[in-house]
Structure 1
Amino acid sequence: YTIQEGADGTGKIQFADLDDQQAANMRLQALPSVRCYTRRLDTPGGQSINALHFEQPDARLTLIWSHGNAEDLGHVFFVCVQLVQRLGVNIVAYDYEGYGASTGIPRERALC
């Protein structure tokens, strides 16, 4: 995936595979009250990580999603959409340094 950044500091996830992009668009269109956007966050070590935020007006809880090894936001996007729909929560998912479109090198030391 890549991030298409907007002028307001937020962005939109773009899938490399056209079928994945169409599926993502369809899933989000089925949830008109859900706002989905990305934001780039700077780390103390000078890298930047990407976060994906699913936000809905009536949600009372926000789930923070730390994905598993060898995954990135592109892999967990559809799981997050299902959780938002079924649980009625907001979700913030993020990539680690060196994963997805985040900068840096993937290493355990960067997690602390």
Structure 2
Amino acid sequence: MDIREIDLTINQERLIEMLDAHMASLKEELFPYQKEHFSFASYEGGEYTGGITGEILWNTAHISLLAVDPAKKGRGIGKILLKQAEDYAKQNRCTQIHLETMSYQAPLFYEKKWL
């Protein structure tokens, strides 16, 4: 066996072909491998106050970035942005949302039961 570093785009295309072929052989109804990106922003009085980005792949939404202007924290902006992403995911037949955070990135916000 020979492991090599290759161009990311070429590798992704080949992997997607393999995964799609495997999925086509299954008897279950599965979503095709089509990544869809989403991006929502919050504004107050025309001023950008925060945003959320992510992608949908198969039946899973992945939150990539979420941030709120530090001067605007505590106003529910993050909660509203996450709710918008959740609603968008549901509209696109997602059954799960994946989000990762670090211990220094507002852990109390993520520990709240906001949904």
Which bin holds the TM-score, normalised by the shorter protein?
Answer: 0.3 to 0.5
- Higher percent of residues as helix: 2
Q: Which has the higher contact order (CA 8 A, sep 6+)?
A: 1
**Bigger Rg, structure 1 or 2:** 2
TM-score where L is the length of structure 1: 0.33
TM-score where L is the length of structure 2: 0.33
